[in-house]
A and B are shown apart, each in its own frame.
Chain A
Amino acid sequence: MGGLTRSYFIQRVLMFFLTIWIGVTLTFVIPRLSGSDPTTAMLLTMMNQRGYVENADKIIESYKTSFGLNDPLPIQYIRYLGHVVRFDYGFSFARFPTAAWDMVTPALPWTLILLSVAAVLSFLIGVTVGSLMGWRKTPRWLQSILPISLTFTSIPYFMFGILLISIIAFKLHWLPATGGYSRSVDPGWNLPFIKDVLLHAVLPLISIVLTSMGGWALGMRGLMIGVNNEDYFLLAQAKGLSPARVFFRYGIRNAILPALTAFALGIGSLIGGSILVEFIFAYPGTGYTLYRAIQEQDYTVIQTITNLIIIITAAGVLILDLLYPLIDPRITYKRNVAS
């Protein structure tokens, strides 16, 4: 278990719960501080749809009692934390007999698979490109080509997605524009369906990978430049080791450690950005479900998805944090001195 000490483990697990608690509490506190009231908002939509609602006060009142909005705030808060712990937020507001949780579960695998593939791909490509850019021995022609890969770095994922849809899907008809699979195929473990799902995933994947890899590349470039000047790196070169060995074993291996921390910290924003990508591509994951819930003002579903994503992100960060000392034995004391 190398550098994974007990105090480090306990500290990371505490951080995991703290992160979840802060995130979950913010989504409870801010709407209540603002004084806005979901029941009134719902009634306004009802009025817009039907023109006139009879007994509006009574409807608001019955909503408030059935969702416990008349209780004092601390009691509401404790009940809310209970929901979070039990993963149970009650019924969906908009589709009443269905439980909020059941609206979310079918969407989960879509998001998890798309995101983990996108995150790993963009990190691997970014780290490779960045290391080559920061390495003194990289051939000139490669040095001049590599910065091209940074072109899309400053474009938000979803805007790049819009461009891809309009050009590749609508103009050129190379790939399907929206959805997770076509209506013509039969969902299940058969070849046409799997092929169709993969085809539908290409554009969302490209729009995340091409726009997020530049950030990793830039960070890695700086780290690699730093390693270039280290004594052990110069020694490895002076010993006459092959350039490939110096590059991978002495260069990337030492430079990648802070990049991994950055990766752990970046998971949250990656997931946030992917909500919009799913919305653009109408991809059947949690992001798109969230968008529909917002449209329908389905507050229990919104809450389920938000808290679930907060927990999943925190779990991802925790796993990376616990793997980290195994990769870098120095970390247990390094973090305590200066992070």
Chain B
Amino acid sequence: MAVLATNSNTQAAARRVNIWDTPWLNAKFVTGSSIIVLVLLFGLLGPLFWNTDLAFTASSPVNLPPMWDKGGSPEHPLGTESNGRDMLAQLVVGIPASLKVGLLAASIGMGIGILLGSLAGYLGGWTDHIIRTITDSVITIPSLMVLISIAAYVRMPDTTAMALILALFAWPGPTRLIRSQVLTLRERGFVRMALLSNVPALEIMLFEMVPNMLPWLAASLTGGISGAILGATGLEALGLGPTRVPSLGTIINYALNSSALVRGMVWWWLPPIITLVIIFTAFFLMTVGLDEIANPRLRGYGNGK
């Protein structure tokens, strides 16, 4: 069955006059993912061009404005803050740290979601009932509240520990989604065919169902990543994140604690916020775009794609 499916797919692709005519070239999705790639490149290639040691305390002169302001110097293009950290270096170190937390937490959540969601949708009965009840309960818990309370006890040693704790609340969304997808797919002809042909359950799940859920899974993952980054930033802004490595939320925390707002040190609090808003907007565009890929009805009227 799987072989047949791929064959007809390639035939369809060959027959297609214009290879660019695919729903995956959704404008929102492409824009969002390009922005993320650019932000990621800034974080990954940044250390090659800029000294990341400057992201730590007392590595630079304090309270320098950015270079285009009076008193700024080209040695610290985005300025420095009150503890003698260089803003540009902090961004270079902070961006990958924040993205890593988001990706890690969302992937763990997605993994648990695929497991529980397909178990519930596939087995039905009591298994489904228990999984659904627990999922629906956890989804209504104010997660940030519980995370803050946990983080107040457990000092986060590093970003990995933080991602693990954030993953506690990253699984109910994907679980719900995958369960409902499995329920509808189970009734479809090709899955019934596979069931009748005695294909093992795991194989049906991985080779028949997952490819058909791909846009939904991707939308859930991008939504999950931005949700986890939001949670991480919230904890860091409250001063509950790992403090040794600078991250975008930690910069905001230091800025707020040092009254950067009142002192008019815009260059201190604005760059991390702008960066985060760009990241969130990009993931938001990706999620909306992927939703439209998965569900053609959402593409609206008369706007083409």
What residues of chain A have their CB less than 8 Å away from a CB belonging to chain B? 15, 18-19, 22-23, 26-27, 30-31, 34, 36, 38, 41, 136, 153-156, 158-159, 162-163, 165-166, 170, 177, 218, 221-222, 225-226, 229, 264-265, 267-269, 271-273, 275-276, 279-280, 290-291, 293-295, 297, 299, 302-303, 305-306, 309-310, 313-314, 317, 338-339
B67 lies within 8 A of chain A by Cβ: no
A-B CB pair tally, cutoff 8 Å: 159
Q: Mark B164-181, 1 if CB is under 8 A from A, else 0.
A: 010010000000100010
Instruction: Report how far A211 CA is from B288 CA in the complex, Å.
Output: 16
For the residues of A in contact with B, the DSSP-based class is: helix
- Interface flags for B248-277 (1: CB within 8 Å of A; 0: not) read 000010001000011010100100010011
Given A22-B137, A268-B143, residue A159 in contact with residue B277 (CB < 8 A)? yes
| Segment among B75-83, B89-97, B108-116, B146-154 that sits at the interface with chain A | B146-154
What residue in chain B is nearest A298 (Cβ atoms)? B152
Contact A19 B154 (CB under 8 A): no
Query: What's the Cα separation between A316 and B220 when bound, in Å?
Result: 26
Within 8 A of A (CB), among B288-305: 288, 291, 295, 297-298, 300-301
How far does the Cβ of B94 sit from chain A's closest Cβ, in whole Å? 15
Of all chain A residues, the one with the shortest Cβ separation from B284 is A154
Chain B residues near A294 (CB-CB < 8 A): 148, 152, 238-240
Bound complex: CA of A302 vs CA of B283, how far in Å?
33
Complex: how many Å from CA A294 to CA B149? Answer: 8
Q: List 22 A-B contacts (CB under 8 A).
A: A19-B138, A19-B140, A27-B146, A31-B150, A36-B154, A38-B153, A154-B280, A155-B280, A159-B276, A162-B256, A163-B273, A170-B264, A269-B143, A276-B237, A276-B238, A294-B240, A302-B149, A306-B148, A310-B146, A317-B140, A339-B132, A339-B176
Contact of B146 with A26 in the complex, beta carbons under 8 Å:
yes
Q: Which residues of B contact A15 (CB under 8 A)?
A: 133, 136-137
How far, in whole Å, are A338 and B176 apart by their CA atoms in the complex?
Answer: 10
Q: Which residues of B contact A314 (CB under 8 A)?
A: 140-141
Query: Smallest CB–CB gap between B290 and chain A, Å?
Result: 13
Instruction: Name B's A-contacting residues (CB within 8 A).
Output: 132-134, 136-146, 148-150, 152-155, 165, 168, 176, 180, 183, 226, 230, 233-234, 237-240, 252, 256, 261-262, 264, 266, 269, 273, 276-277, 280-281, 283-284, 288, 291, 295, 297-298, 300-301
Out of A22, A31, A156, A163, name the residue touching B153 (CB < 8 Å): A31
Q: Assess the B154–A34 pair: CB atoms within 8 A.
A: yes
CB atoms of B237 and A158 under 8 A apart: yes
* B144 and A303 contact, CB distance less than 8 A: no
Most chain-A CB neighbours within 10 Å: which of B141, B145, B261?
A: B145
Known: A26-B150, A225-B300, A290-B148. A158 touches B234 (CB 8 A): yes
Most buried by A among B142, B256, B266, B301: B142
Contact A268 B139 (CB under 8 A): yes
User: A159 contacts B273, CB within 8 Å?
Assistant: yes
Cβ of A154 and Cβ of B283 under 8 Å apart?
A: yes
B149: shortest Cβ distance to chain A, in Å?
Answer: 4
Q: Is the CB of A22 within 8 A of B150?
A: no
Instruction: With CB as the reference atom, state the residue of chain A lying closest to B172.
Output: A265
Residues in B neighbouring A41, C-beta threshold 8 A: 153, 155
| Residues in chain A near residue B143, CB distance under 8 A | 268-269, 272
